[in-house]
C-alpha cells in the first residue's frame, strides 16, 4: 500500500523517528498511524536491545523542582556522545524524567535494584493472600501482584506521568531509536521536605 507524504510527516512529527522508518512502519500498518506507532515502539525496543552493550560516556543531569520548592528530583540520563547529550530534545527528555521522578517517587531504576528484603516481603504477602487457591491460579495471582507492585516502584516500568500509554522504559527505547545510540537512566534521586 502506498502512503502519502502527509501521513509520513504526521508520524515523524509525533515520534521524531526518521522519515524512512516512518514510511516503512506506515506501509506495514497499511496507512493506519496508530498501528504504525505500535510498530515503531516494537522496533524501538529491538533497537535498544541491540545497543544494550554499548558504553555510555556522555549524558546530562535532568533537574526538576516543583512549584514551591517542596519536591525536587535529579536524573543522570546517559548516552554515548556529547552530540546527543547537548541536543535540546535529549535535554527535555531528561527534565521530563526528573519531573516524573518527583511526581511518582520510584524507589529503584530496575527490578533488580529493589532491595531484596523488600521484594521478599512483598512476595510473602502476595503468597499468603493467594493461599488456598489452586496451584496454577496461585502462581498467576502472585506473579500479577508482583508485576503490579514493581510498576508502582520501578522507574523503567512506571507509566510516564505525561502519557500513561508509555512507560519510562518505552521513552528510553524510543530515544535510543531516535538518536541511534544507547540512552539510559543511570541514577536518580528524589528530594522532599516532607
Q: What is the pLDDT of residue 45?
A: 65
CATH fold of 5-50 reads Helicase, Ruva Protein; domain 3 (1.10.8)
Walking along the chain (194 residues) 10 residues at a time, the average pLDDT comes out as: 80 77 85 84 66 75 93 95 93 97 96 93 90 86 93 96 94 88 93 90
The per-residue pLDDT for 87 is 94
Q: What are the sequence ranges of the domains in the chain?
A: 5-50, 58-109+154-192, 115-152
Residues in the chain: 194
What is the spatial distance between Cα 32 and Cα 11, in angstroms, rounded to a whole number?
A: 10
CA-to-CA dists, residue 171 to 77, 89, 102, 114, 116, angstroms: 12, 12, 17, 21, 27
Q: Which CATH class is domain 58-109+154-192?
A: alpha beta
pTM above 0.75, yes or no: no
Amino acid at each position: 500500500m502506498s502512503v502519502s507524504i502527509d501521513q509520513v510527516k504526521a508520524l515523524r512529527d509525533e515520534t521524531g523517528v526518521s522519515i524512512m522508518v516512518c514510511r516503512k512502519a506506515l506501509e506495514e500498518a497499511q496507512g493506519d498511524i496508530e498501528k504504525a506507532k505500535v510498530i515503531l515502539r516494537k522496533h524501538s525496543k529491538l533497537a535498544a536491545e541491540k545497543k544494550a552493550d554499548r558504553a555510555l560516556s556522555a549524558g546530562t543531569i535532568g533537574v526538576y523542582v516543583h512549584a514551591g520548592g517542596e519536591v525536587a528530583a535529579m536524573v543522570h540520563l546517559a548516552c554515548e556522545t556529547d552530540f546527543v547529550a547537548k541536543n535540546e530534545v535529549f535535554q527535555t527528555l531528561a527534565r521530563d524524567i526528573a519531573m516524573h521522578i518527583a511526581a511518582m517517587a520510584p524507589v529503584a531504576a530496575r527490578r533488580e535494584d529493589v532491595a531484596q528484603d523488600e521484594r521478599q516481603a512483598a512476595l510473602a504477602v502476595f503468597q499468603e493472600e493467594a493461599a488456598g487457591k489452586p496451584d496454577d491460579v496461585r502462581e498467576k495471582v502472585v506473579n500479577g501482584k508482583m508485576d503490579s507492585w514493581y510498576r508502582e516502584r520501578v522507574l523503567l516500568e512506571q507509566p510516564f506521568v505525561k502519557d500513561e500509554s508509555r512507560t519510562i522504559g518505552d521513552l528510553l527505547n524510543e530515544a535510543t531509536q531516535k538518536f541511534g545510540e544507547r540512552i539510559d537512566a543511570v541514577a536518580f534521586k528524589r528530594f522532599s521536605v516532607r
